[in-house]
Structures are given as C-alpha cells and as structure tokens.
Amino acid sequence: MSGLEDGPLQREWPDKPAGATPHIKRKGFFRELPFLIALAILIALLVKTFLVQAFFIPSESMEPTLHGCEGCRGDRVLVNRLVYRFRKPRRGEIIVFGGRHNGPDTRSAARKLVDFLTEGLGVTRPSNTDYIKRIIGLPGESLSVKDGKVTITRVDGKKLTLVEPYLSPVHDDRPFGPVKVPVGEYFMMGDNRTMSADSRYGLGTIRLHDIIGKAFVKIWPPGRWGRLSSVRYKGDYPGGLPSAAIIVIVTTRRRRRGARILEGAGRTGGEAA
C-alpha cells in the first residue's frame, strides 16, 4: 500500500491563474492608449481653434498690466477666440492679434504637432509672432497723442480724452498724430507706451480678421493670477456708437442740410420776386 487514502484523488485549483487579471487590464489599457492620445489631440485642436488658447507674454510692452521680458518667464494669459464672432471689439479691451512668421517654416510634421500642443497650452513660446495690446482707436475715428494724453474724435464728432489709470508710471511724452483709423480696422497701443511697438510705430492699424481673440485672465504665475478687466472710459461708447445712434446722427445731418437748402432756395426766390 502506498499509504494514500482510498478514494478519488482530489486537487484544489485556483479559479484563475495568478496574475491573469492584471495582465488583461494592462493589455486593454495599452490597446486603448493610441485612441486616448488621438482623442486628447482632437479636443486640444478644437479648443485652441474655436474656444480658448493660452499665450505667453514675451516682452514688457504691456507692463504693469502684464509682465514679460526677454529671457524670463513672463505671464501667461487665456484668450477667448469665440467672443468676436458675436460682437465687435471694444475700446479698452486687451486683445491678441497678428501672426507673422519669421522666414520659411522648416519644421517637420512631428515638430509642428508638438509645437502646436505645447504652444496652445502656453508651455512654450510660439514659433510665430503674435502681439498683445489694448484697443484704443475704433474704425473711422481720428486719434492724436500729446503730453501722454490720447485724444479721440469719434465718428459722431465728439472729442474724448482718455483717462488711463493702467499705464506704466514712465510716461511717453512724444507727440503723435492726428491719424484717422480706416474703416474695419483698430488702433492698438501697449500700456507701457515707452517700450511698445504698436500702431504708432511699425505695426499700423489692425484689421478685424487679424484679431485672434480677447485676453480675459492671467493663469501664470500663481502669484499674479487674476481676471483682465476691460476698461470703460467716461462718456464713451466702448464699442463705437450703437447702430441706432449712427442712424439718428446721419438722419439729423441730412435734415439740417435739407433745411439749409430749402432756406437758401426761399431767399433766392424772394430776391427774384
């Protein structure tokens, strides 16, 4: 006798081999990883193209509102790309515009994809040159600068001298203008007037379709996080005159002109009699 008890031989087997479940889960995750990456890229593309984009501030042209300097880690802002699809830009708003490439783009497709994602998140500096300034002059207005004060003649003929509390303490007293802002274009100026290459010097006025969007919040660094409020100037229509007001002005001018013509015709007829 072998010493084994009589009866069928029994052996306990585990329900599942050891380590089977983790292996299956890992395999499923790696199978789905390319899809998740593609989905993340698609979402980033849609957000950057239509909704919100992050921008890096590389210079001091908007000090003290936005901090930036050559070789330092400047502020990062979020820009609303959708807002101007529903309304026109308003005076006092901070906007991003431009997009001028510095020479031919020799990057590979992979490099372009990486730059697209990192620039859209505001992690790296953009490969092309965009600008961030404040809207000062609206389409059809005349503008001049004297002793650091901006004077605007609106389309209704009313003059407006801007009070700008956001300016850098170092004032630029150089005179400029008067110039007329073309229809459909905007006059841009930096808050740091002494260090800003804006519509006064080099850039010229900006067309509406060159505007990328409105900067609305600082997201980095944490100590400077905050909302970027638009400025409202006393006695001004920040987005230009409402359509109804323009119609009233034009109609009134035509009526006055017609009245002068009739009055002149009456005097002429009386003299002839």
Based on the residue annotation, tell me whether 218 is a catalytic residue of this protein.
Answer: no
Residue of 59, 61, 168, 196 marked catalytic: 61
Q: How many CB atoms lie within 10 A of CB 190?
A: 28
Which residue among the candidates 133, 142, 168, 218 is catalytic per the annotation?
133
Amino acid 244 reads A
Which residue carries 């994602």 as its tokens?
A: 117
Kindly state the helix (H) or strand (E) to which residue 80 belongs, with its residue range. strand 76-80
Which pair of structure tokens corresponds to residue 111?
A: 């490099």
What is the C-alpha to C-alpha distance for residues 142 and 1, in angstroms, rounded to an integer? 116
Has 168 been annotated as catalytic? no
Sign, CA dihedral 60-105-123-91, equals: positive
Distance CA 47, CA 62 (A): 26
As annotated, the active-site residues are 61, 133
